[in-house]
């Protein structure tokens, strides 16, 4: 048994090294004086300065953040209503269809989602003159659609776990279904909405393939700019950008974990 668990620990340790070594090296070499990304030339923060002087990157970052904010919010609305309908409503005609449509984007290759949406936009443009050119709006529609699928996974599991008796109590006290939803259900599933929102926000901020298909000449997102830079080879300012993103994400995850463990302890004390 001891031998077996030692073997497991070594494999797991190697696995974690495999997961983290590239991330750590990104961070280390973002502080490298030398332009050669893999040769250490002394400590420097000049690539960060360079990053913040690059108008193309800054503009793309702003476009991406705007898209991610709106997409995440829309995705949560669609995902919440979709999950609620699927979990709480008894049989309805489109239930099977909805359940299929809300999970399928999770396993669909991105190139197919991107191509199909673009062709839809082009066809609609020809038929009804909408959406009137491609750009931020078409990216937002695309991101909220696949984002809704991810949001629904998070929200559905919370809805399933939720204690039904609270909703029933509100109903027995005479609250109408709409009121029960907004006053009882929504506050209870709020943490799931928040984590779903963050998940979609991150996915939207990160998406290259779908955005490349549905975007127009006007709107370049951050991943699109990074991809065209990276294709030409490694560049240290991309490392600096990566370090900033990793820093924000780690802080967020650690804060969330602390919050969860604190509320768990709180719950245990009661």
Partner 1 sequence: MSQEETLNGKLPGGAFLGRALHRIGLRGRGLVIAIPVLWLFLFFLLPFLVVAKISLSEAAIARPPYLPLWNWDDGFLNITLNFGNYLFLFDDPLYLSAYIESVKIAAVSTVITLLVGYPMAYLIARAAPDTRNILLMLVILPFWTSFLLRVYAWIGFLKGNGIINNILMKIGLINEPLVMLQTDFAVYIGIVYTYLPFMILPLFANLVKLDQSYLEASADLGARPVTTFFTVTLPLSASGIIAGCMLVFIPAVGEFVIPALLGGPDTLMIGRVLWNEFFSNRDWPIASAVAIVMLVVLVIPIMLLRKAQAAEAEVQ
- Residue 55 or 232 having the CB closest to partner 1: 232
C-alpha distances out from residue 38 to 96, 137, 233, Å: 52, 39, 12
Min. distance of Cβ 31 from partner 1 in angstroms? 14
- Residue 39 or 49 having the CB closest to partner 1: 39
How far apart CA 119 and CA 215 sit, in angstroms, is 12
Min. distance of Cβ 46 from partner 1 in angstroms? 18
- Residue 59 or 110 having the CB closest to partner 1: 110
- Residue 45 or 250 having the CB closest to partner 1: 250
Min. distance of Cβ 10 from partner 1 in angstroms? 9
- Residue 145 or 220 having the CB closest to partner 1: 145
Comparing CA positions, the residue from 245, 267, 119, 132 lying closest to residue 191 is 267
Burial class (CB in 10 A: 0-12, 13-18, 19+), 139: buried
Min. distance of Cβ 27 from partner 1 in angstroms? 10
Min. distance of Cβ 77 from partner 1 in angstroms? 8
Min. distance of Cβ 49 from partner 1 in angstroms? 19
- Residue 1 or 43 having the CB closest to partner 1: 1
Spell out the residues 6+ positions from residue 27 whose beta carbon is closer than 8 angstroms to its own: 239, 242, 243, 246
How far apart CA 36 and CA 185 sit, in angstroms, is 54
Comparing CA positions, the residue from 103, 85, 93, 94 lying closest to residue 181 is 85
- Residue 12 or 49 having the CB closest to partner 1: 12
Residue whose token pair is 């204690």: 163
Min. distance of Cβ 228 from partner 1 in angstroms? 11
Measure CA 31 to chain center.
28
Instruction: Copy the structure tokens of residue 262.
Output: 């604190």
With H, G, I as helix, E, B as strand and everything else as coil, classify residue 32: strand
Contact (Cβ atoms closer than 8 angstroms) between residue 172 and residue 229? no
């Amino acid at each position: 048994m001891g031998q077996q668990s030692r073997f497991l620990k070594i494999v797991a340790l190697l696995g974690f090294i495999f997961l983290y070594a590239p991330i750590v090296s990104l961070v280390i070499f973002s502080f490298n004086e030398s332009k050669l990304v893999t040769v250490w030339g002394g400590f420097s923060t000049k690539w960060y300065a360079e990053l913040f002087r690059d108008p193309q990157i800054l503009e793309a970052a702003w476009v991406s953040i705007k898209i991610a904010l709106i997409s995440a919010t829309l995705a949560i609305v669609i995902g919440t209503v979709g999950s609620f309908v699927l979990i709480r409503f008894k049989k309805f005609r489109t239930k099977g269809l909805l359940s299929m449509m809300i999970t399928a984007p999770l396993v669909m290759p991105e190139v197919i989602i991107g191509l199909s949406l673009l062709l839809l936009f082009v066809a609609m443009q020809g038929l009804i003159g909408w959406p009137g050119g491609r750009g931020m709006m078409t990216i937002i529609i695309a991101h909220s659609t696949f984002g809704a699928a991810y949001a629904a996974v998070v929200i559905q599991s919370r809805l399933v776990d939720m204690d039904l008796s609270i909703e029933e109590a509100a109903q027995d006290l005479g609250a109408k279904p709409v009121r029960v939803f907004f006053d009882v259900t929504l506050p209870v599933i709020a943490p799931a909405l928040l984590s779903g929102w963050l998940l979609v926000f991150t996915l939207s901020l990160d998406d290259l393939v779908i955005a490349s298909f549905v975007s127009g000449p006007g709107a370049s997102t951050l991943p699109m700019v990074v991809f065209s830079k990276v294709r030409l080879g490694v560049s240290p300012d991309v490392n600096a950008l990566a370090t900033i993103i990793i820093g924000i994400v780690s802080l967020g995850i650690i804060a969330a974990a602390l919050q969860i463990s604190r509320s768990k302890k709180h719950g245990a004390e009661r």
